[in-house]
Amino acid sequence: MNEDNCIFCKIISKSETASILHEDEEIIIIKDKFPVAEHHILVIPKNHIPNARHLTQNHVNLIEKMNETGLNKMKELNADVQDLASGFNWPPLNTVNHLHQHFISPASSMSLFRKLIFTHKNFYFVNASYLLRRLKK
Ligand SMILES: [Zn+2]
Ligand SMILES: [Zn+2]
């Protein structure tokens, strides 16, 4: 999949509609189309980065910003951030080929199956601190 038929690029260019909760020059935050808990948002960089494997040290600031802005948005939505699942899909288990960070709360309300998918104990879902440690090496 390239940028031309990327759903997130279309949302960013406004040729596809989505529920946009935040937008600035680098990122947007949208509601997940298929929420797995009461609060489920996606933080998406405007640049088309296919997945977490394509990140380099140059992306450290971006990841930190995504994590911080997403967390603040969850607090603004009155989501319980003590009961939070947050992270990035790791290939090959990424459904959209445009980097995005999930924020899900309350994480404890997810079905067992969802919990298996959205947990950092799962190798295919990595949280921001793991990613940052990896990039800063
Ligand atoms: Zn894209
Ligand atoms: Zn995802």
- Domain ranges, ordered by start, for the chain: 32-136
Name the region of 87 (left: φ>0; alpha: ψ -120 to 50; beta: rest). left
What residues does the ion ligand 2 have nearby, CB within 5 Å?
Answer: 89
Tell me the CA–centroid distance for residue 96 and ligand 1, in Å: 8
Establish whether 48 is a catalytic residue: no
Cα–Cα distance for residue pair 18/45, rounded to 1 Å? 15
pLDDT digits (tens, 9 = 90+) for 4-25: 789 999 999 999 999 999 999 9
Cα–Cα distance for residue pair 67/73, rounded to 1 Å? 10
pLDDT digits (tens, 9 = 90+) for 61-110: 999 999 999 999 999 999 999 999 999 988 776 778 899 999 999 999 99
Looking at CATH, the fold of the domain delimited by 32-136 is given as HIT family, subunit A (3.30.428)
The 8-class DSSP code of residue 27 comes to E
Catalytic residue, candidates 40, 48, 59, 102: 102
Ligand lying closest to the C-alpha of residue 16 = 1
pLDDT of 1 over the 70 cut = no
